[in-house]
Amino acid sequence: MAAKVKVVAHNESCSLCRYIPLVDTIQGDTDEGFANVLTCLAYGAPGNIQSFTELPSVRRYSIVKGMREVQTSKKRPSRIQQRQIFTCAADPAPTISFSSLHLGIGSPTRPPYSIIIMAVPSLVAAAARRRLATSANTFSRSHLDVPSLHATRVLSRVNVASRNSVRAYRPASITAGQRRAISGTSRKRQATPASEEDFNPFEIERESDQVDVCIVGGGPAGLCAAIRLKQLANEAGNEDFRVLLLEKAGEIGDHIVSGNVLEPSALDELLPDWRSEDNPNRFANITAATVDKMRFLTEKSAIPIPAPPQMNNHGNYIISLNELTKWLAERAEEIGVEIYAGFAASEVLYTSDGAVKGVATNDLGIGRDGKPKDSFERGMEFHARCTLLAEGCHGSLTKKVIKKFDLRKDSEVQTYGLGIKEVWEIDPAKFEKGLVAHSMGFPLKSDTYGGGWMYHFGENMVSIGLVVGLDYPNPWMAPYGEFQKMKHHPFYSKYLQGGKCISYGARTLNEGGFQSIPKCAFPGGALIGDTAGFLNVPKIKGTHTAMRSGMLAAEAAFSAVSKSSDEEGAVFLYDYEDSLRKSSIWTELKEVRNMRPSFHSPLGLYGGIIYSGLEAFLFKGKMPWTLSHGKKGDSGATKPASAYPKIEYPKPDGKISFDILTSVSRTGTNHEEDQPCHLQVADWDKHAEEHYPKYQGVENRFCPAGVYEYVEDESKPLGVRFQINSQNCVHCKTCDIKVPGQDITWQTPQGGEGPKYVMT
């Protein structure tokens, strides 16, 4: 009978090929049960084969340097054990051919009947076909009797739960090797050097893949852009139009953290049935907002104040943006978007005339000393006629593009906030489903912009957090410490008492609004979503504007690419800039442009509240003036430590408040230690000499993950040394924004690393 082949992911303890995406399933015939076979296409060959059957005996094949080892277990494994029996050879041999392998159950002479090729999605299609075709003595063309080798086609037939196994966390030891070995392009190797001493691995030419549109970032903007592009392409009958999305996180959603009360207008337009009861694939984890509360907090009391109309959440939904992006990724894959999770784009590529032609991922297998290790692999280039940057707030590639094309020439400097969030499971008796509560005042001082939130969603779940404007002046202030204090206020603590904190996260957000939007189109691409700064601060919402900007950019990109030839090279999205100015994004951001900067005018906190009320209820953005954020930026707003008394924060009680390392442990963050520090400081000693005497360790306090510290060291002139614990980094980007000397640069670490957020 025909075997039904099922996907079984490698266990996370496998150091060689964790969660390698599925390319295709090739089915043959067998007269015995089910079978699962995993193939790692590493270093150009199918070097590791493991098979498992749901029969009383388990046969496992592992290939090491051309030798086959067969191990048989008499005990039938449980479902949990099925995910654990796979191991990988550390050094797969590039000379192994399919003809040497027998994947059948029982006698090794039985012809192979099924195989699952695990590698990068559609990029590998051609290579996989060629590799299988050259092994005709083992595989006949009948084994390739499937409509398509594209991952998107296979994924659309797999249930949602199984898809978790096909989004990649890729450690450095294998990622680049796999993706190069199975690249659809030809290999590009340098000539063999005269001696090993002459060989520089950094000079190996990177392999490349050509697509129509490349999107960097798997958040709401990037995913909605990808979906809209493929919708347009499929409607036009152009199914070969390639849309590729790169995401640095191990899985889509792993790096996403947000409030989040979703205004559904953009998603309703993109996917009208996204929440319909008639849609079996609907996004079900939504909670309708039912009650709005706005409070001004003093140390002990909570004073009701009127909320501006922008904060009316009738018709909105409380969600986990982390979960929504995972769902959007599934919808994108179903219609043909190629999603490569675990690929960290670290470099912008340019044509000879200066236009953007794509991006490159970072080199892997580099030691902390900057020298290549045995596992070194060059990054890969992705070329496209249009590149959309959807990196989120303060994107590392976006910074470079803005500088190169001077996109801020006609806009103000951006100002930012740091959002810190926890997800709690609380006592059902205290749960108020659909409650949306916001606060101002305590614990923040009058010279610091910010506020708290609390949303009740799902079943007994609470999202609670604090946003602190990063233009705060006091270097003794720690946003993390302020958040812990806020939770002890009676307005919040009465809900949290007896509950359990299950998740933590932190991320910066753009607060500059209308004044700080840069030019968004550049030769060869565009900025979309929060990387461009479309957050509506008074609404405390940016997901709907991010989605809409992605959709507008997609329409402009598809039009520009479709109406021109490949020979014309990179396109310029003139229509995107025009569409933005005619869209609801522009209208709503212009209307509220003066609210955020009013809090740092001579009016102060209370004057800002009054002025914002007038803008919200009376002026509605129609006044002829536009207030400024100033020219110093958030880093320049920091004053010397000597100007303020030192702040001593209460010791966490371990029930409502927690120490910072406990919170970081709830993020799931992880970075390989033997790699260059992705938090780049040219001279650590010089940094300490310039910052410590004046700011007394401000880095330790602005970071919400305990990455930076000054450690006592008598050998140093200051008596302390500057230390970076980069393995704790949750990729919030605060350091790159707030450090007074602007000498810390956040760069992408190895793909797949960083936090693994849950329900954030």
All structural domains of the chain with their residue ranges: 22-171, 209-253+329-408+519-534+541-569, 594-631
Decide the pairing of beta strands 243-247 and 338-341: parallel
Is 729 annotated as catalytic?
A: yes
- Taking Cα atoms as reference points, which of 164, 174, 124, 175 lies closest to residue 8? 164
Residues contacting 192, CB < 8 A, separation 6+: none
3-state secondary structure 580-648: HHHCHHHHHHHHCCCHHHHCCCCCHHHHHHHHHHHHHHHHCCCCCCCCCCCCCHHHHCCCCHHHCCCCC
Which SS3 state, helix, strand or coil, does residue 303 take?
strand
Is 180 annotated as catalytic?
A: no
Is 393 annotated as catalytic?
A: no
pLDDT confidence of residue 293: 97
Given 543, 638, 667, 734, which residue is catalytic?
Answer: 543
pLDDT confidence of residue 610: 87
CB 49 within 8 A of CB 103: yes
Given 131, 385, 507, 593, which residue is catalytic?
Answer: 507
* Sign of the Cα pseudo-torsion (20, 17, 19, 345, in order): negative
Q: Is residue 443 reached through a cis peptide bond, with omega within 30 degrees of 0 on the bond before it?
A: yes
Tens of pLDDT, residues 201-235: 888 889 999 999 999 999 999 999 999 999 999 99
| Residues of the chain below pLDDT 50 | 1-194
Task: Give the bridge partners for 670, in sequence order.
Answer: 754
CB 401 within 8 A of CB 527: yes
pLDDT confidence of residue 196: 57
Is 735 annotated as catalytic?
A: yes
Given 732, 734, 748, 760, which residue is catalytic?
Answer: 732
pLDDT confidence of residue 591: 95
Buried b (16+ CB within 10 A) or exposed e, 462-482: bbbbbbbbbbbebbbbbbbbb
Given 173, 361, 729, 748, which residue is catalytic?
Answer: 729
Is 192 annotated as catalytic?
A: no
Q: How far apart are the first and last CA of the chain?
A: 46
Is 732 annotated as catalytic?
A: yes
Given 415, 638, 735, 748, which residue is catalytic?
Answer: 735
Given 224, 393, 501, 703, which residue is catalytic?
Answer: 703
Tell me the DSSP string of 477-508: --HHHHHHHHHTSHHHHHHHTT-EEEEEEEEE
Residues contacting 546, CB < 8 A, separation 6+: 219, 220, 221, 224, 390, 528, 529, 530, 534
Structure tokens at 151: 């991952």
Burial of 27 (0-12, 13-18, 19+ CB in 10 A): middle
Distance (Å, rounded) from C-alpha 749 to C-alpha 445? Answer: 36
pLDDT confidence of residue 197: 62
At the topology level of CATH, where does 209-253+329-408+519-534+541-569 sit? FAD/NAD(P)-binding domain (3.50.50)
pLDDT confidence of residue 604: 76
pLDDT confidence of residue 261: 98
Q: Which amino acid makes up residue 296? A: F
Given 258, 325, 398, 760, which residue is catalytic?
Answer: 258
Any alpha helices (H) in 666-758, and if so which ranges? 684-695, 698-702, 734-738
Tens of pLDDT, residues 492-541: 999 999 999 999 999 999 999 999 999 999 999 999 999 999 999 999 99
